Amino acid sequence: MKRVLLKLSGEALMCKDTNLSIKQEMLDHFATEVKDAHSMGVQIALVVGAGNIIRGKTFAGANEETRIEGDYMGMLATIINSMALRSKMQSHGLDVRLQSALSMDQVAQLYIRDKALSGLEEGKILIFAGGTGNPFFTTDTAAALRASEINADALLKGTNVDGVYDKDPNEHADSKLIKEASFLDVINKELQVMDATAITMCKDQNIPIRVFNIHEPGNLRKVLAGEQLGTTISAAGAS
Which positions make up the binding site for ATP?
7-10, 51, 55, 159-160, 165, 168
- Enumerate the known binding-site residues for UMP: 71, 132-139
| Amino acid (1-letter code) at residue 154 | A
- Enumerate the known binding-site residues: 7-10, 51, 55, 71, 132-139, 159-160, 165, 168
